Structure 1
């Protein structure tokens, strides 16, 4: 079985149980690794066309059969011009080339440590599947002497926003028209409560418990209590993998919280500086049409920028 045909079979096997983001990760890792298995360069399409065809069509079982003719021609070249999986049995150097390709950037430099670990894991899982299919007697990746890159566990304080900078950034967000005011609480949640973007965008009113207002004994008016904390009770997140990778065809799909089983929740404290920001947001904007706390000026759900957070005019980006 050729490397390309095998990868398609592996992708199809993993698809049903994999989250949309993980489907993307699988496609990205195996796209990076495939050039090490080209059997020839004769008639080879451009590298950009090869990567696009693999990632967008070939390694996406939902859309593989819908590939436009230009991409389909590229995939046919791959099917006929990648080495058989069995070539890894007698060539340890090929195994190392495969791992090196999977964990490198386009410029040849090693990828970031987290990407390296993730891509190696995907590649190893694929080779385990090749053993299951009896295409290989054993996983050759496990015989390589290979040391993963070290990760820095200490955060460099110079790269972290301090409180003065955070308040200045929130003020700058608020000044952006027309959507800035409705994004202040969004970014404040990520700063003060360390929420992930996909958790913040999926927040509902019943996920939020704010401390009650207290009556000022002199004026009789209700006001924020001093140094009072609230709580967030998170149950689901809504990552944005893109409609190409979801089962429903929507760009943002509700999932269990990251690293938690379905139905498991996460409780997050709301520190005192965040309490009035959230209260003001809820008073000004209420709930969106789908019940979410955060939504665009036209009532639509936020879509993500390449950085994973909302942006662009009207709270939307492509």
Structure 2
């Protein structure tokens, strides 16, 4: 195989010679021009984007196929197992840590289902462990194989179906059935099923791009679970009022020895600033304008979502990302009331900051883990609430403080575009998610209807 780094790309164009709309991706490898036609412009641009990303990573291109090494490896894969291994290597560099975790989770679920009935099948837990800890990770991130995992991977290599097997409807149905179940055989949540199905769909689209399949078989299969409506609205029962929020922020200081005191300001950022937990964990002193009087402001730029060491580029448990649904380095300005300003000033004076300026961290300078945050919060609820409230949805998770903040802003009459900007939502998502948390609208509507009926 002859390879080269001499690669050029052109923009996608509409194929005018075709009666039905189609779009052409164009690129050149070692002086040889290559084109590929797709039904939609989005598909053509996605394919061209994959090529550009491969070139940016420094991959050599095969002068015969005009594809980068990662795609060539996937195209030459004899089985589904080999194909998804090549797919994860190709996609890994430009995925966030959480997306990497989600991708391998879905593929570890569906890959054992796409196998022949070969003798010596390992148990489901061993197959999943071998896939998640080794086979579906790039070289250098793989765990050391024990005898069980080695045997499981050898069995997968023998038993894995070909990619072409997905042209048969029963094979696709078997894969979707596996995605719809948990490890214990019980029905998975609809949101989990949809997330895993989306990964499966994208892998098959990649196979279509490489001409391993003529089209995506999932487009032909109707799924009841795919059409089910998922509840997106916030349950108003989880929303605390200001008095309850203040009680929780006071009580939390008595939880977890010194951790509760250190986390008080973290929880306060979620309630008074409407911040996501990962945004609060990424907050630095330089992001804060904290005057001695009046309102302050936070300029949010970083988030520290918890993902796991094997998924992050840094090898740390928490990833270092920009804001959710925003371009890299884009910021969000959040005005904060004097109450939160005072809490943050007291926190900085008492605890200082990490070497990189972060406000919230453990004694070793690391971000608090989700388990530590949830543990302190669960303890605080038992101290602040009545037994009936403890078993209710009221502020059941720290994230519910953010829900309470956004609900408070809406009920205070703050215009929806301003609330959406502070919360980091689009206006349509904001109104859809918090529709049931806006008080007084039904009474106003009833009064208007009554006025018309009695006119």
Q: Does 1:256 align with 2:322?
A: yes
Which of the pair is proportionally richer in helix?
A: 2
CA contact (8 A) 1:31 1:55 kept: yes
Q: 1:75 to 1:299 in 2, by over 3 A?
A: same
Q: Does 1:239 align with 2:312?
A: no
Q: CA deviation at 1:307?
A: 8.4
Of 79-88 and 103-112, the range deviating more from structure 2: 103-112
CA contact (8 A) 2:252 2:261 kept: yes
Q: TM-score, normalised by structure 1?
A: 0.84
Q: Select 1:185's aligned residue among 265, 275, 281.
A: 265
Q: Distance in 2 between matches of 1:148 and 1:107?
A: 24
Matches within 5 A, 1:286-305: 286-296=352-362, 298-305=363-370
Q: Distance in 2 between matches of 1:113 and 1:162?
A: 31
Q: TM-score, normalised by structure 2?
A: 0.60
Q: CA deviation at 1:110?
A: 4.1
Where does residue 94 of structure 1 map in the other structure? Answer: 171
Where does residue 408 of structure 2 map in the other structure? Answer: none
CA contact (8 A) 1:208 1:231 kept: yes
Q: Select 1:199's aligned residue among 279, 282, 303.
A: 279
Three-state SS of the structure 2 residue aligned to 1:35 is helix
Where does residue 84 of structure 2 map in the other structure? Answer: 7
Of 74-83 and 98-107, the range deviating more from structure 2: 98-107
Q: 1:49 to 1:165 in 2, by over 3 A?
A: farther
Where does residue 390 of structure 2 map in the other structure? Answer: none
Q: Does 1:122 align with 2:199?
A: yes
Of 35-44 and 63-72, the range deviating more from structure 2: 63-72
Show structure 1 runs of 5+ residues with no match: 214-227, 313-318
Where does residue 125 of structure 2 map in the other structure? Answer: 48
**Based on CA coordinates, which of the two structures has the bigger radius of gyration?**
2
CA contact (8 A) 2:164 2:212 kept: yes
CA contact (8 A) 1:32 1:103 kept: no
Three-state SS of the structure 1 residue aligned to 2:129 is helix
Three-state SS of the structure 2 residue aligned to 1:67 is coil
CA contact (8 A) 2:133 2:143 kept: no
Q: CA deviation at 1:4?
A: 1.3
Q: Distance in 2 between matches of 1:52 and 1:233?
A: 41
Q: Select 1:265's aligned residue among 313, 331, 340.
A: 331
Where does residue 18 of structure 1 map in the other structure? Answer: 95
Of 149-158 and 178-187, the range deviating more from structure 2: 149-158
Task: Provide the aligned length of Structure 1 versus Structure 2.
Answer: 296
Where does residue 163 of structure 1 map in the other structure? Answer: 242
Q: CA deviation at 1:127?
A: 0.1
Where does residue 156 of structure 2 map in the other structure? Answer: 78
Q: Distance in 1 between matches of 2:174 and 2:337?
A: 50
Q: 1:170 to 1:65 in 2, by over 3 A?
A: closer
Q: Distance in 2 between matches of 1:247 and 1:111?
A: 30
Where does residue 225 of structure 1 map in the other structure? Answer: none
Q: Distance in 1 between matches of 2:337 and 2:243?
A: 16
CA contact (8 A) 2:208 2:214 kept: yes
Taking only aligned residues, the RMSD between alpha carbons, in angstroms, comes to 2.4
CA contact (8 A) 2:114 2:175 kept: yes
Q: Distance in 1 between matches of 2:163 and 2:179?
A: 16
Q: Distance in 2 between matches of 1:127 and 1:291?
A: 44
Three-state SS of the structure 1 residue aligned to 2:178 is helix
Q: CA deviation at 1:26?
A: 0.2
Q: CA deviation at 1:189?
A: 1.2
CA contact (8 A) 2:260 2:376 kept: no
Q: Does 1:279 align with 2:339?
A: no
**Cα displacement string for residues 62-110 of structure 1 (whole angstroms, at most 9, x for unaligned residues):** 4465432332322222121121121111x21221221232243234444
